[in-house]
């Protein structure tokens, strides 16, 4: 009598896992494993080929900011708060919802580590991400994605690339059985109809309807966001959100969500009240616009792991949020990364309500 075989026979072979369940599980892993927050939308959708490729190749990338790379001065914290509170006062000219679609055009820039183990170099890539989210939650929207181009990140990287024989497209040969290539020139734009319930923020199911329901008091707003992120974290088996996560979430809202002037002001006030917020000096975004960077986080955690710093670049004269970035101050890889480098930047180029769909 073979009890083991009998036990085996006792269990029916389960049916294949439905594709959407596989995708959802993969998305949970991706949220944890992809340091680049380049995915504009949530984890449940697959990226267009070029983007997925680039994201897969991302290790630690750097966007050198023009200032704020040294240790923060004592006054960084206070001046950061002041700047955010001042931005809250500038109610700006955020349009009321009066079009059929919320339209945002964003440039995503990352630095990808390419070349070989012995001759690595950083390539800076740029992608266009554009979306039209229908105000009517029953109606579909549109996403447009396009690779805009790539170039060596610095003269030193360009030299390493030339040593490699100036391969074009840029090739990644660091990993066996993994071949990524990024073209220096722009690729074709891909326009896709998007899910009506699509999330507006990176990798989190947060819909326009939820944006419209955000409270206008900063303490209530913080409680709402903290509660939302806590539930997300619990579902993903992650640590509860710290202030850096709240900051990151608030930054994304400011950069890309259709906030009313009241909610926008409340968001700035909420950021000003977070622990460890500081001014990180003048900074130029990827579109070449100058602003002031407000930062939170960075350094190492209790296990000695590197903690990314989140930055929000705002135009202090208008209170407009220009870009949000994730910055590394020290590379975790064997390849040295420059201090003050961002592995992903989301630069807001255009946003507003429109009646015109792209198709």
Partner 1 sequence: MRAANDAAVIRESRDVPERFGAIFDAYFAEIHAYVERRIGPENASDVAAETFLAAFRKRDRYEPARASVRTWLYGFATNLVGKHRRGEVRALRAMDRIAGDAGSIAGDAGSEELEARIAAEGLRGRLAGALAALSAGDRDVVLLVALAELSHEEVAAALDIPYGTVGSRLNRARRKLREALGGTNPLLDLEEHDG
Q: What residues line the site for partner 1 (CB under 8 A)?
A: 1, 3-8, 10-14, 16-17, 21-22, 24-26, 28-30, 32-35, 55-59, 113, 175-178, 236-237, 332-334
Least distance from partner 1 to the Cβ atom of residue 113, Å:
8
Closest distance between partner 1 and the C-beta of residue 34, in Å? 5
Task: Rank residues 56 and 349 by Cβ distance to partner 1 and give the closer one.
Answer: 56
Quick check: 123 and 153 in contact, CB under 8 A? Answer: yes
Least Cβ distance, residue 228 to partner 1 (angstroms): 20
DSSP 196: T
Residue number with CB closer to partner 1 (96 or 305): 305
Dist. CA 135–CA 209, nearest whole Å: 8
DSSP 3-state of 302: coil
Give first-to-last CA distance, the chain, whole Å. 68
Give the residue with the Cβ less far from partner 1, 41 or 142: 41
* 172 and 138 Cβ atoms separated by less than 8 Å: no
Do 54 and 125 meet the contact criterion of CB atoms below 8 Å apart?
yes
Q: Which is nearer to partner 1, 11 or 138 (CB)?
A: 11
What region does 280 belong to: left with phi over 0, alpha with psi -120 to 50, or beta?
Answer: alpha
Sequence length of the chain is 359
| Beta carbons of 245 and 268 less than 8 angstroms apart | no
Which is nearer to partner 1, 26 or 217 (by Cβ)? 26
Least separation in angstroms between CB 303 and partner 1: 10
């Amino acid at each position: 009598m073979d009890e083991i075989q009998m036990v085996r026979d006792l269990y029916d072979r389960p049916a294949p896992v439905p594709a959407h369940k596989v995708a959802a599980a993969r998305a949970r892993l991706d949220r944890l494993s992809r340091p680049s927050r380049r995915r504009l939308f949530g984890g449940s959708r697959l990226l267009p080929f070029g983007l997925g490729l680039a994201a897969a190749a991302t290790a630690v990338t750097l966007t050198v900011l023009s200032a704020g790379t040294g240790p923060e001065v004592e006054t960084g914290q206070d001046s950061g708060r002041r700047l955010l509170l001042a931005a809250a006062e500038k109610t700006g000219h955020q349009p009321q919802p009066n079009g059929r679609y919320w339209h945002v055009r964003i440039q995503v820039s990352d630095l990808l580590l390419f070349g070989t183990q012995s001759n690595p170099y950083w390539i800076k890539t740029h992608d266009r991400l554009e979306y039209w989210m229908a105000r009517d939650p029953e109606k579909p929207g549109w996403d447009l994605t396009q690779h805009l181009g790539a170039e060596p990140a610095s003269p030193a990287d360009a030299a390493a690339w030339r040593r490699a024989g100036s391969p074009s497209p840029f090739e990644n040969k660091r990993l066996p059985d993994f071949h990524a290539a990024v073209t220096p020139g722009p690729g074709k734009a891909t326009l896709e109809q998007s899910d009506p319930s699509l999330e507006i923020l990176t990798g989190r199911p947060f819909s326009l309807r939820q944006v419209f329901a955000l409270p206008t008091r900063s303490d209530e707003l913080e409680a709402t966001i903290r509660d939302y992120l806590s539930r997300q974290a619990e579902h993903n088996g992650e640590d509860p959100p710290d202030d850096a996560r709240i900051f990151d979430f608030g930054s994304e809202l400011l950069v890309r969500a259709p906030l009313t002037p009241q909610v926008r002001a409340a968001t700035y006030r909420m950021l000003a009240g977070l622990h460890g917020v500081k001014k990180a000096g003048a900074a130029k975004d990827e579109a070449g616009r100058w602003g002031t960077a407000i930062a939170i986080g960075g350094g190492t955690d209790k296990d000695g792991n590197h903690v990314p710093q989140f930055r929000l670049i705002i135009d202090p004269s208008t209170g407009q949020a220009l870009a949000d970035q994730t910055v590394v101050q020290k590379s975790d890889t064997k390849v040295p990364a420059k201090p003050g480098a961002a592995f992903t930047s989301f630069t807001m180029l255009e946003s507003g309500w429109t009646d015109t769909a792209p198709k």
